[in-house]
Chain A
Amino acid sequence: MTTPEPSRPASNVGDDLGLGLRLPGQGTLDERGRRRVHPVSPVVHGASSIPIGIILVIAFSTGAVSQLGAGGLLVSAGLVLLLAVVVTAWNYLVWRNTWYWFDADGDFRVDSGVITKRQRRLQLSRLQTVDVAQPLFARVFSMAELSVEVAGGNDSRAKLRYLPLDEARALRNEVLARAAGVRHDVGEAPEAPIVTVTPKDLAISLLLRSATAGLLLMTAAIVVFTVLSSGWGGLGVALITGGLPILLVITEFMKYFNFTVSESPDGLRLRFGLAKTEARTVPPGRVQAVEFVEPLLWRRQGWVRLRLNIAGVGGSDSNGNKEETVLIPVATREVADALVQRVFPGLDTSALAWQAAPDRSRRRSPIQWRRLAVAWDDSVFAARRGRITRRVAVIPHVRTQSVRVTQGPWERALDLASVHVDSTPGPVRISGFHLDAGRAREVADAQAVRARLGRAADRSIRWAAGEVAKEPSTHREPETS
């Protein structure tokens, strides 16, 4: 291994439970060269439902004890135990029936399912990302889950739960290497750390986000007001307005703890997390759009957050949760610009010539109208909005999926319209709001042309090579209508 892992002690990785045991099934290949995930997986799965089990025992016993006395506790514990046995048996069957391997065509294959069999074939040429994550319970067993995601519809990812951490990493490297078409027996690609967010900066930045700061301020006001006017009765509201933002801050703090961006030959590698450590590799050329977010209270420090749209990631994760794909949760402007340069080489947002929304847009958006603007250069389109939290969203012309012009009744009365440049699902929306209506249409039409020219010139996407030059003029199919 060429890469030292400073964050993890060496004793943590390595064999299984640290007992020197090689459990049956582990590492063994069947006659088709298929591999199983680690045999401790069913236990890890089971362990993650222990909290639920405890809650169930408590829930059952409060009911049962009142009716059956002390015996009720036994009955309920027995029921939960029975449930645990069933769950464990099921998990064991799931493990027995899960196989992964690389097939003869070089595709990554995962077979799974106990009752309904499922066979997935992930075409590595369409690989989007490979993540190694360590949920809390897996971490206890020094296990990790690997998810492999290819371009496609909603459910185009395969998750392997669980592999020993070093094996998960090795497999990730193998997947990345195979996708890149290089020899796959090379070790982990060396990483050069670029930037790490300190816990202090992260905590301060999260507390100063506009919504959080607003809610906390409101909470203080409510506490003062209720205590002065009606005693302690109204504090319930303060619990919600104060508790919610604090909870959000804590969740996000744990999620992005120790956020590190490193450079590796596979792309940018992001590592973060406290209870659940995640390592996400963003392959070059997969980033669809980027957004600079700058809340009001961050401006003194000159901080920004960078959010990304990555094809195949974001929108929502496997649990249906909105997933925010962040390039860095907080950074100074210079660091952020340098990072963006790696994603979109040559991008300089300060050099863009902004075309502002007309003055009459004030009557539609009295606060943010001064900030509303669009801009473009030879390679990107950008839209600016937000007065309190400033946002600048940038999309390369090549990545333009479609262009929309919309107009609500109020905009119509003012002869305004909005231009949207559509990107793949993700947190970044590129919208130039409330431009002059005629201008909006011109911008949209021109953007369609720029997107086409961008696609024609771009080599990172698979235009059939050689046809590019002649394509625009030759295809004129016979029209039937």
Chain B
Amino acid sequence: MGRSARYAGQMADRTDTAFTWTDGWTPVSPKLIAARRLALGLTYLLVVAGVVLLFVIPDVPRLVGWITLGVALVALGWLWWLIGRRVRSFGYAERDDDLLVTSGIMFRRLVIVPYGRMQLVDVKAGPIDRWLGVTTVQLHTAAATTDASIPGLEPDVAADLRDRLARRGEQRSAGL
């Protein structure tokens, strides 16, 4: 079968690791980096409040405050950098019969979801995401472990993807 040969060809391209991208992969929008960094920043307001408190409370030695501040700043820098890498690790590919989603740096994963197995497709966006124009598309199958979500899509790309997936799902729909 022609398609099997094509899969075989893709496999041959992949020499060393299991997660290499080949042609047809789409990265997610870099706006997701901004959205996640903004969310991180908002969380850090709490940390800032904590550090300020350390400096205001009279009994706490100054040194404790400075050390906390230093640790918080280093952690912030690391998380800031990590967000960039994590977002760039997200990618998806629409093949003829299934959708591939990959992500992760430390713990990497790749999910292959056949269109015929999709039960529903969620499109969601939180307040920050909406403001910055990024959307998450999540696929559900009858298995709870499937976990195929693609964050950081432009809203119109997400809507198109959802419609395409729904259409293909319907065409190839299978029972349990």
A, B assembled together: yes
A404 touches B109 (CB 8 A): yes
B16 touches A415 (CB 8 A): yes
The CA of A463 and the CA of B175, in the complex, are separated in Å by 8
Does A424 sit within 8 A of B, measured CB to CB? yes
Does A9 sit within 8 A of B, measured CB to CB? no
B11 touches A406 (CB 8 A): no
Instruction: Scan residues 399-436 of chain A and give those whose CB is less than 8 A from a CB of chain B.
Output: 399-409, 412, 415, 417, 420, 422-425, 429
The CA of A446 and the CA of B106, in the complex, are separated in Å by 25
B112 touches A401 (CB 8 A): no
The smallest beta-carbon distance between A432 and chain B, in angstroms, is 12
> Which of B42-50, B58-66, B127-135, B139-147 is the contact stretch?
B139-147
Tally of A-B Cβ pairs under 8 angstroms: 136
The smallest beta-carbon distance between B139 and chain A, in angstroms, is 8
The CA of A311 and the CA of B116, in the complex, are separated in Å by 17
A461 touches B16 (CB 8 A): no
Does B176 sit within 8 A of A, measured CB to CB? yes
Of B116, B142, B147, B148, the residue contacting A452 (CB under 8 A) is B116
Instruction: Scan residues 4-28 of chain B and give those whose CB is less than 8 A from a CB of chain A.
Output: 4, 7, 10-11, 14-19, 26
Query: Hey, which chain B residues are within 8 Å of A458, CB to CB?
Result: 174
Does B124 sit within 8 A of A, measured CB to CB? no
Of A402, A438, A460, the residue contacting B141 (CB under 8 A) is A402
Query: Hey, which chain A residues are within 8 Å of B161, CB to CB?
Result: 481
The smallest beta-carbon distance between A151 and chain B, in angstroms, is 6
Of B18, B111, B143, the residue contacting A425 (CB under 8 A) is B143
The CA of A406 and the CA of B17, in the complex, are separated in Å by 11
B145 touches A451 (CB 8 A): no
The CA of A409 and the CA of B147, in the complex, are separated in Å by 20
B176 touches A151 (CB 8 A): yes
Of B112, B160, B167, B176, the residue contacting A403 (CB under 8 A) is B112
The smallest beta-carbon distance between B160 and chain A, in angstroms, is 5
Does B86 sit within 8 A of A, measured CB to CB? no
The smallest beta-carbon distance between B6 and chain A, in angstroms, is 10
The smallest beta-carbon distance between B19 and chain A, in angstroms, is 7
Does A315 sit within 8 A of B, measured CB to CB? yes
CB-defined interface of A386-407 with B at 8 Å, one 1/0 digit per residue? 0000000000000111111111
B107 touches A401 (CB 8 A): no
A475 touches B17 (CB 8 A): no
Residue of A nearest to B120 (CB): A153
A417 touches B174 (CB 8 A): no
B4 touches A449 (CB 8 A): yes
Of A404, A455, A481, the residue contacting B112 (CB under 8 A) is A404
A480 touches B108 (CB 8 A): no
Instruction: Spell out A's residues near B (CB within 8 Å).
Output: 151, 286, 288, 311, 315, 399-409, 412, 415, 417, 420, 422-425, 429, 437-438, 440-442, 444-449, 451-452, 455, 458, 460-463, 471-472, 475, 477, 479-481
Sample of 12 A–B contacts (CB below 8 Å): A402-B113, A402-B143, A402-B146, A403-B111, A404-B147, A405-B19, A424-B176, A438-B17, A444-B18, A445-B11, A461-B174, A471-B171
Instruction: Spell out B's residues near A (CB within 8 Å).
Output: 3-4, 7, 10-11, 14-19, 26, 97-98, 106-114, 116-117, 141-148, 157, 160-161, 164, 167-168, 171-176
Q: When A and B form their complex, which 3 residue pairs have the shortest distance between CB atoms, in order from nearest? A: A461-B175, A422-B143, A401-B143
Known: A403-B112, A452-B116, A462-B175. 17 other contacts (CB 8 A): A311-B142, A311-B176, A399-B176, A402-B111, A404-B111, A406-B107, A408-B106, A437-B16, A440-B18, A441-B14, A441-B17, A441-B19, A444-B112, A448-B112, A475-B172, A481-B157, A481-B161
